[in-house]
Amino acid sequence: MLERRALLRGTLQGLALAALPRAILAESRGTPDELSIAYPTDINGWDPLGVNPLQSALIKCLFDQPLTVDDQLRYGPSVVTYHRWLDTHCRTLELCLRDGIRFHNGDRLTTRDLRFSFVDRARQAPGSLLAGVWSGIEEIEILSEQKAIIHLRYPMAFAPAMLADVPSYLVPADYYQTVGSSGFAKAPVGSGPYRLVEYRQGERVVLEANLDYWRGPPPIRRLVFLISRDAIARAAMLQAGKAGLTMNLSVRETRRLGNLPGLAQSIRPSTAIVLLQMVNQGALRNRDVRLALHHALDKPAISSGLFGGCAVPIWVPAGPDMPGHVEGFRIDHDPERARQLLAGAGHGPQRPLQLNLYTTKGALPADLEMAQAVQYMWQAIGIEVHLKVLSPSLLIAYQNQGRLDGPVLRGWNPAAGDPATYSGFLMHPAMSFALFKSDDIAARLDPLMAEPNDEIRFAGFRNFDRWQVEQGYSIPLFQSPATFVYRDDLHFTAHPSGLLFPTALGWCHD
């Protein structure tokens, strides 16, 4: 089997390398108005209820979000032109919608659609990501077609940031209720910059520009997404001239392709992070054990070995360019200190700590390999580590059933980088994403969730995250790199979220 895979890999790369770059790469352009993108994932469905961050490039083409995130990770106006808190504890948010926006079918976008998108649909799908984020909405009070007030059940200071994040998309109430969920999935209608004209599941998505888009028509009038989960196949498409852009290749492959004539590359940190979530069960109830696990890890070595040094080691759930970053704070790699902490907790060669480590395989770049590196480093300090590989759906099931009894390797990617959307979701005991349930956590987080001043709130989260990492409640690992390879005559600027924004693409003029 391994020989067969190696032969396939070599054949694909050989065929691609045999191409004449300048002549054949021209095929990927087709016409000045068209771009083909070799894309790493299909869509779960055209109803944005269940979209994940990687699929957002497709969903963003069809659907607008109330707010947007700029290249400095600041959220700002989009469909919503103005918002403000009407109280001092972040439970009453006033919104004003842009007038004159229309859905693809001609319906006007109003506050009724806002209410349907966030209240009715969340109630209809209680197990969805939409409900997981927005179940805190008690009601949306409609004041006029352009003005509304969101009433929240509990403080949500991060609500504006989440209005620019997954899964906050606007759908037309009348059309959706007329055709139903299945009809909408077959013929989706949004107010976004593109319309869906063709979809072949697992193969391709064809989009055409919405010439009446309220921001103006997008520069590229036709987008073709060629779906392939296989990174080798996507690289071959790019080299053979069948695509003008691809993403989520390994750092090594991105560098190799980006150095070829006619191609360019982008490798930069994103708002996506990887961390180890702790559970307060068994030996992990002991702070010394949790800190020993952190001291045992050589994060720069893992980054160098798996990501060419491009995964930025982090010690709180934020990278250096994010508002939650704590300058100068770190937990040193110190295996001897780790052994001392374990010994103080009663573990050593005669009584080794037994630990399960949970991970996925293929859900994140090099997730299994990261888990294996962590396993190796923990074993080096005398821990017997049992690696448990679960599918993403099974991992969620284990979490919901309370079956996780050891650290969990997890990826997390809020687009806006707001620290409340990291520790606020991953640490607060009331949140379904949290694994380590502890009363001392809620007491520190609750005031921050009710703080309307972003600067004060960000400073509070920096203090909280330093504290929770010093308690060993989580082990942040890396700020993940976002990788892109593209035609060198394609205008492309990487967004700090690591997401692809097709409306920002355009062909360079000679």
Asked whether 307 and 481 are in contact (CB, 8 A), the reply is yes
Instruction: Indicate whether 26 pLDDT > 70.
Output: no
CA atoms of 176 and 381, how far apart (whole Å): 57
pLDDT in tens, 161-181: 999 998 899 999 999 999 999
Instruction: Indicate whether 21 pLDDT > 60.
Output: no
Asked whether 111 and 148 are in contact (CB, 8 A), the reply is yes
Q: What is the pLDDT of residue 166?
A: 87
Asked whether 355 and 407 are in contact (CB, 8 A), the reply is yes
Instruction: Indicate whether 30 pLDDT > 80.
Output: no
Sign of the C-alpha dihedral, residues 429, 431, 432, 434? Answer: negative
CA atoms of 91 and 452, how far apart (whole Å): 10
* Of residues 21 and 95, more confidently modeled: 95
Instruction: Indicate whether 440 pLDDT > 90.
Output: yes
Asked whether 342 and 379 are in contact (CB, 8 A), the reply is no
Q: How confident is the model at residue 49 (pLDDT cuts 50, 70, 90)?
A: confident
* Phi, psi (deg, nearest 5) at residue 481: -80, 145
Pairing of strands 490-491, 312-313: unpaired
Neighbouring-strand partners of residue 491: 506
Tell me whether residue 145 is exposed, middle or buried, using C-beta atoms within 10 angstroms of its C-beta: 0 to 12, 13 to 18, 19 or more: middle
Q: How confident is the model at residue 393 (pLDDT cuts 50, 70, 90)?
A: confident
Q: According to DSSP H, which parts of 93-229 are helical?
A: 111-115, 121-124, 129-134, 159-162, 173-186
Neighbouring-strand partners of residue 486: 245, 264
Q: What is the pLDDT of residue 114?
A: 99
Burial 299-312 (b: 16+ CB within 10 A, else e): beebbeebbeebbb
Mean pLDDT value of segment 225-250: 96
Domains of the chain by residue range? 12-48+178-268+482-507, 63-175, 269-481
Q: What is the pLDDT of residue 32?
A: 66
Count, residues in the chain:
510
CATH topology of domain 63-175: Dipeptide-binding Protein; domain 1 (3.90.76)
**The most confident of 67-71, 426-430, 475-479, by mean pLDDT:** 475-479
CA atoms of 467 and 316, how far apart (whole Å): 10
Instruction: Indicate whether 417 pLDDT > 70.
Output: yes
Instruction: Indicate whether 140 pLDDT > 80.
Output: yes
Q: How confident is the model at residue 432 (pLDDT cuts 50, 70, 90)?
A: confident
Asked whether 237 and 226 are in contact (CB, 8 A), the reply is yes
Q: According to DSSP H, which parts of 26-172 are helical?
A: 56-62, 111-115, 121-124, 129-134, 159-162
What is the CATH superfamily name and number for domain 269-481? Answer: Dipeptide-binding Protein; Domain 3 (3.10.105.10)
pLDDT in tens, 212-232: 999 999 999 999 999 999 999
Neighbouring-strand partners of residue 276: 409, 475
Instruction: Indicate whether 378 pLDDT > 70.
Output: yes
Mean pLDDT value of segment 11-31: 42
Q: Which of 14, 85, 47 is nearest to 167 (CA)?
A: 47
Q: What is the pLDDT of residue 167?
A: 87
71-80, 297-306, 322-331: the lowest-pLDDT one = 71-80
Q: What is the H or E stretch that residue 80 is in? A: strand 80-85
Taking CA atoms, 351 is separated from 279, 406, 450, in Å, by 21, 18, 46
% of the chain residues with pLDDT over 90: 85
List, in sequence order, every beta strand (DSSP E) within 106-249: 137-142, 147-152, 194-200, 204-209, 222-227, 245-247
Q: How confident is the model at residue 52 (pLDDT cuts 50, 70, 90)?
A: confident
Instruction: Indicate whether 384 pLDDT > 80.
Output: yes
- At 41 the three-state DSSP class reads coil
Q: What is the pLDDT of residue 31?
A: 60
**Distance from CA of residue 408 to its chain's centroid?**
17
CATH number of the 12-48+178-268+482-507 domain:
3.40.190.10
Q: What is the pLDDT of residue 128?
A: 87
What is the identity of the amino acid at 397? A
CA atoms of 57 and 59, how far apart (whole Å): 6
Mean pLDDT of the chain: 92
